[in-house]
Structure 1
């Protein structure tokens, strides 16, 4: 009897202590949970997806898209307020770059063919942080952020998106989400061209002469503003109907490529230190004619055969062909006293921090051509696919300021 009473007494104490311990653990977990893995991992969300590559008909509204989850400790989940459509989204819809991008998604090639579907497009994002991974130090739930999502990740044409904390930045307070969504991808592409490929920055730009070919699109308008913020002289090539826009954002000289042969029009100008080409094709010949030879002048182009070669020839043969092509072009231009560079987009939160400071100082402003609702995403794709952009095409995902 004594042993029975003693065991009941001890069991009661243990039960009480275990109850208190369980409550403490639950409280601790509830605090940690909001910074670790998704509390909505079993829910769904609306998104625009493609289930195969093709024309605009492959775009499908999916109200039951799987909710994104945090898989790595440096990731964040963002509630998307706005995104935008870039030419790369149209190209990816068509299947351009799928070989290289699928290798980035699955480097060990363990997944089956077509495993990237359903695929969400949309590279720009402006929204609110909902959840943070354990290693995220600079953001917390509720922060308003902007960023550009790499093409090998699921995009922002959805209610929520997950991305690395290294790829986002605090949204400038002076911008609405609609305005902010127009800038990250194009400004980071322009940054990669000017800073990474051409070696320009605010210290080296003053006095430099820069020629921008294809200046009225998203990357062109971003590049003009970056260059003017850094003190460069900018000559912009576009059609006459874009002159007002291009001059309003700071271009010093504007050339109408439709008025006469471009090379003939440029002969009356001084030689350039940098040519940034957003068009490609025959315009590469301008590098040898209108760059200052033997002065460190650089021709940089956004139009490269890298992804095309990999799609057509496969990864190994494609990269070999690309390497040969680039080497030949570099040597050819170097023999004439100028540098030749290819430009590749690079996501970067720190770069967006610096761009945000320029926005704060009103040295960079959004250039938006048209805003579409989330239900009109196919119409936005149609518009971008036609080309001749005068700024960015933005998608309002969540009605907000």
Structure 2
């Protein structure tokens, strides 16, 4: 989150909570105000506002912690949310009884990723204590590096493992295709596939080909050097496709999969939140269910699996990612680092596209 203090709610980074009864645990300098970048309305970059003394988040539930943020990173979804994408679902999560209340909605702090130090712990939190670097940060990484991993790492993990069914035991020798491989999720997915022993084909522009090779990709395809579909058709069929691009790609990508072998196509580009914003919660979920159901059945009849994937918070998965980082099998890929005062510039950088990894905010000017 783009603030120097942030509440992290249970079920995500928090796990292994113990029994209540030890009281609120607080670091010596936990209270006070914090500077933060917020928005008071949806729009383009001009809606970003620097607030000098926002109230620190208070722990409301026993499985929450408050983190002093050392570094944060931006993701494409933050650009979309700045313009109002996902507002219906976000407001429902905040308070189901105030779906249309602007007072409840703003000011809104954007951001998905943080690396920092625990300041306070709720009653039932035993896995963390004040002073811990969350969650838990690999010792070999700076806060700036660590902040680049959680959202993209868990999104890729969700797509490949939770939805795609691949893991370190069954991935060896499988052929993986990563469409949109040079972004945050793509660079992580390439490394995860290689860490689990797969043959990985990465699709990106030519200026990212060196990076893809450094990350371990076996084949690198330049989508600008000709018809991408034709370039991929001459390769052996794939066991798994991760699509970070969507759009017209979905119309032909599934034909690249091995038929009747359990091969799976997973896309991260879905209409779920768009449907909710456009149609409301009930009708949006209904439309989403109809869409995914019809597409799944259509492609199942052709011998391949069609799936959607989303970011899934998970403490145990973050621990597994940390182990892969500590073993040298996965490394952060950072495109550019900005200071906390340069948050609007960071948004503009991300908005320009063609990122090679993550855009990171150094919040307190320390590594």
Q: TM-score, structure 2 length as denominator?
A: 0.91
Residue by residue over 1:57-91, the C-alpha shift from the partner in whole angstroms, topping out at 9 and shown as x without a partner, is: 00000012111111111111111000001101111
Distance 1:252 1:111, change over 3 A: same
**2:119 corresponding residue in structure 1:** 130
- Higher RCO structure (Cα 8 Å, ≥6 apart): 2
TM-fit CA distance, 1:315: 1.2
Q: Which residue of the other structure, out of 201, 205, 208, is the alignment partner of 2:174?
A: 208
Match of 1:345 among 311, 316, 322: 311
Deviation at 1:109, TM superposition (A): 3.5
Larger radius of gyration: 1
Which residue pairs with 1:25 in the alignment? none
For the 8 Å contact 1:211–1:275, the answer to whether it is kept is: yes
Whole-angstrom CA distance in 1 between matches of 2:25 and 2:60:
9
* Post-superposition CA distance 1:32-65 (Å, at most 9, x none): 9973589989732100000011000000000121
Following superposition of structure 1 onto structure 2, how do residues 268-283 of structure 1 map, counting pairs within 5 Å?
A: 268-283=234-249
Task: Report the counterpart of residue 154 of structure 1 in structure 2.
Answer: none
Q: 5+ unaligned residues in a row in structure 2: which ranges?
A: 1-20
Length, aligned pairs only = 347
Structure 1 residue 285, shift from structure 2 partner? 2.2
Q: 3-state SS of the aligned residue for 1:118? A: coil
2:80 paired residue number: 91
Distance 1:285 1:376 in 2: 40
Runs of 4+ in structure 1 deviating by more than 4 angstroms, as ranges, are: 36-42
Equivalent residue, structure 1, for 2:291: 325
Structure-to-structure mapping, 1:214-229, within 5 angstroms = 214-229=180-195
CA deviation profile, 1:299-343 (whole Å, cap 9, x unmatched)? 000000010111111111111111111111101100100000001
Match of 1:289 among 241, 250, 255: 255
Kept in 1: contact 2:277–2:284 (CA 8 A): yes
Q: Per residue, is there more helix in 1 or in 2?
A: 1
Q: Are the counterparts in 2 of residues 33 and 39 from structure 1 also a CA contact under 8 Å? A: no
Q: Is the Cα–Cα contact under 8 Å of residues 213 and 220 in structure 2 kept in the other structure?
A: yes
Residues 74 and 249 (structure 1), Cα distance of their counterparts in 2 relative to 1, 3 Å cut = same
Query: Contact 2:167–2:196 (CA<8 Å) still a contact in 1?
Result: yes
1:2-401 matches, cutoff 5 A: 35-36=24-25, 43-109=32-98, 112-145=101-134, 169-401=135-367
Aligned CA RMSD, in angstroms, stands at 1.7
TM-score by length of 1: 0.84
Q: Is the 8 A contact 1:218 1:391 kept in 2?
A: yes
Aligned 8 A contact 1:37 1:69 in 2: no
